[in-house]
Structure 1
């Protein structure tokens, strides 16, 4: 008999660990505290998870510290093989991970399956990079020394992940730490912790030793992570989230001069020049804007369109947005799921309302959707004033505000007029112009005639207040390695 969707959901949720993973064992939180994880499409509780407190955070760091020395000595090939087994397991269980992400985060199943593919690639990529943490050996310029550089694991790490990509954000941090020989304390977002729980169990099943990965879901993030950041035994902090929280964490990390990687907020401009293929630009805009319902730091946030093609682009984009179908992500017809919670939906509505009050015109959408769940209508706004709040803040929702420009200089000025510098998108048929504009844009990621560019083999990260450090690519492994220099006396010095 074929199981119904409801039966599949229950069977899957029954397999998700609900405790804290500390020292290789799933256990209750101190005092037995729990919190509920809900389905944002219905408001229904999915599971109750152990809610870590400060004592649990310390126990997790104790376990990571205890495991660090032996884990650092583990052969790179062994670390590589663990990651490869985890990749194979996540890939084999793609349907489970996709359904779990859809349940706790809301995205349509098709998008969740795409995230499984993307997230699993970090496991495969870093399984291959684990054996390539190369140092070097050379003679000093004056010949009196031999220069040996050695790559060593940084040490115990605190990894803090956001709610919007429950699998990929975990694999993007955990995989390079494993490859480098670092132990970890992972604190997943309390809105979407279930995927990290299941992923951690996959790593244990793949042979990851006890204490290398410890997982502490919590609703008291500051109380739990604050003492860890102040603990001199912690050697690295990797955080993905908002810029205001990132600033506070950087201030806390300063006391111990803690090594940090920060992937923070974004305000990505999407530039369409007069020579662009409008159909290709609209397709790219849909990919850059509507991936994850717009709840992505790389999401196109501001659409800057040349005056000559603004009407054609806006009309075509509005038509595509209008054709989308809102619904629970488990339904086959759904192309747009809910926002993560009521607060997020209300913020999007506030931004749209303020823009409309300032003269912006909604071509489609412009309001929350009726019914259960935290849904917002896909929205296109035109005639948005260049100084409007919706162009200054990260929308994190399915809203595309459009403003026009007249020449390259104005386009670049508008694109760079933000404290953020994560991603940008440029559509033009002129490759020279694309490269020229790219060199002028203050961003860490650029999509040239492409709306989705994230890839495990490429460095991901921003400039300005979008953060520091890189995840993915060879650069992603370097973030978890320190360099030691050994000066060796000239081996030829005693030769006659």
Structure 2
């Protein structure tokens, strides 16, 4: 077997055939207008594909065929075991094409190939498998009604589901939407980010090959227009979105202006990572804190971007943290030995650098702060660490880049106040060797996920994922996600 080195992946990239058209009603199609946009690789700034820039006609077409497929029960009407078998075949195809899909994600989003081959694509296949297995195991209820009645409570598919997904985990975040939506029997219109549309376009053909009927799974690439139009569309029954809080607020308004479609939002975060003086392992905590913000170039909604360290251990911990941070060296994402790739595009690069400039004015720079590898034409930023006040701009606003704010605290109550003093509530962590402290602090933290003595653990699908406050509503993953894509129905049958 050929060793998968940098030259291997460069060779695969050179021969890769990239599809840039929309996928509607079981076939690839150009945008109705003929418009395209350039798909630029953040690795070196080169245009690697022309992608269909879908507009109103394409949205109407995709929604219409999704509605037709739903009304004709082409998918929802199949025996549950049949739908399960088809989704399992799709998962097999995703694994069979792992290298191709992973390479598309790396070229498109700048993610290290070591991550896309081991996390993103396998994680998406696992998600499809997990929800496929749930199809024939989740039932309804028989209600204890009066004896002259039989009372049933059932869940039915909601109809046409639009999924608008982000660029940081293109296929993985998409699978968290389309897998439960399809498992519940819905038709899906997937709108990938214009910054990273390629993997979604490719897997649509694999879905069709697996046996998902035409019109049931459609992919609409494009700029901001398709997402807005889907949110306003009166024949879309549900819209699931992952992205910024600002856009999430707009989507809720669009739903209110149209048909009051169900809206599920997974939004921003500014997650606190609290290290107490009785932390059981400072070395492990420091490595986890570095990974929490520098993994995936900091382009994570759950990024541990606020590190809260007790004053008594601050100096010792920061020494270990900066050592751990230095192990993240931005480089060519096609190199399997590189752990930190490229920022997704020039717009995001400039945004992150702007926050770093702001941090230089309001905080103490401990490490990094510069753009690297500029001669490559790509978009790279080194790991950056500031010591900040709790109310500094870089300590309150979501940056979505490799920028860490370190905040010092003096007591547990102080740490909890700082942690909860945010408009977000997606994730949090606490490091302590005291079991009572672990439980009590976890209860007090206003976040959808709390890790104790770890960060970003628990990749299986059994844990619901989502946030408090302006980090969104609803949950991805777990059986709770299935509920989002169904309607509850009560049926009462009079016996006499």
TM-score tier by shorter-chain length is: over 0.9
Q: 1:483 aligns with which of 466, 481, 488?
A: 488
1:319 aligns to 2:323 (yes or no): yes
- The CA deviation at 1:447 is 1.4
1:23 aligns to 2:25 (yes or no): yes
- Structure-2 separation of matches of 1:325 and 1:123: 33
Instruction: Show the counterpart of 2:139.
Output: 134
SS at match of 2:380: coil
SS at match of 2:156: strand
Instruction: Show the counterpart of 2:152.
Output: 148
Q: 1:264 aligns with which of 267, 276, 281?
A: 267
SS at match of 2:108: helix
- The CA deviation at 1:387 is 0.9
Query: How many residue pairs end up in the alignment?
Result: 484
- The CA deviation at 1:332 is 3.3
1:336 aligns to 2:336 (yes or no): no
CA shift digits 1:98-125 (9 cap, x unpaired): 2111111111111112212222211111
Instruction: Show the counterpart of 1:195.
Output: 199
- The CA deviation at 1:280 is 1.8
- Structure-2 separation of matches of 1:23 and 1:10: 30
- The CA deviation at 1:143 is 4.0
CA shift digits 1:189-221 (9 cap, x unpaired): 0110001011111111111100001111012x2
CA shift digits 1:116-165 (9 cap, x unpaired): 2222211111011111331111322x545332011100000111010110
CA, structure 1 residues 295+227, in 2 after alignment: closer, same or farther (shift >3 Å)? closer
Q: Superposition pairs for residues 215-254 of structure 1, below 5 Å?
A: 215-219=219-223, 221-222=224-225, 224-254=226-256
Runs of 4+ in 1 over 4 A off after TM superposition: 1-4
Q: Superposition pairs for residues 454-465 of structure 1, below 5 Å?
A: 454-465=459-470
TM-score (ref. length: structure 2): 0.94
Q: 2:212 aligns with which of 208, 212, 216?
A: 208
CA, structure 1 residues 53+85, in 2 after alignment: closer, same or farther (shift >3 Å)? same
Q: Check the 8 A contact 2:114/2:337 in 1, yes or no.
A: no
Q: Check the 8 A contact 1:129/1:477 in 2, yes or no.
A: no
Q: 1:352 aligns with which of 356, 372, 379?
A: 356
- Structure-2 separation of matches of 1:183 and 1:110: 33
Greater shift, 92-101 or 58-67, is seen at 92-101
- The CA deviation at 1:356 is 2.3
SS at match of 2:381: coil
SS at match of 1:72: coil
1:424 aligns to 2:434 (yes or no): no
- Structure-2 separation of matches of 1:424 and 1:295: 16
Q: Superposition pairs for residues 59-98 of structure 1, below 5 Å?
A: 59-69=61-71, 70=73, 71-98=75-102
Greater shift, 339-348 or 297-306, is seen at 339-348
- The CA deviation at 1:370 is 4.4
Q: Check the 8 A contact 2:295/2:339 in 1, yes or no.
A: no
1:404 aligns to 2:416 (yes or no): no
Instruction: Show the counterpart of 2:313.
Output: 309
- Unmatched segments (≥5 aa) in structure 1: none
SS at match of 1:30: coil
SS at match of 1:300: coil
- Structure-2 separation of matches of 1:315 and 1:159: 43
Q: Check the 8 A contact 2:294/2:328 in 1, yes or no.
A: no
SS at match of 2:51: strand
SS at match of 2:339: coil
Greater shift, 437-446 or 366-375, is seen at 366-375
Q: Check the 8 A contact 2:370/2:382 in 1, yes or no.
A: yes
- Structure-2 separation of matches of 1:213 and 1:154: 15
Q: Check the 8 A contact 1:149/1:483 in 2, yes or no.
A: yes
- The CA deviation at 1:21 is 1.0
- Structure-1 separation of matches of 2:178 and 2:453: 31
- Structure-1 separation of matches of 2:302 and 2:56: 33
TM-score (ref. length: structure 1): 0.94
Q: Superposition pairs for residues 384-403 of structure 1, below 5 Å?
A: 384-403=388-407
CA shift digits 1:18-57 (9 cap, x unpaired): 2111111111111311111111020001111111111011
Greater shift, 342-351 or 476-485, is seen at 342-351
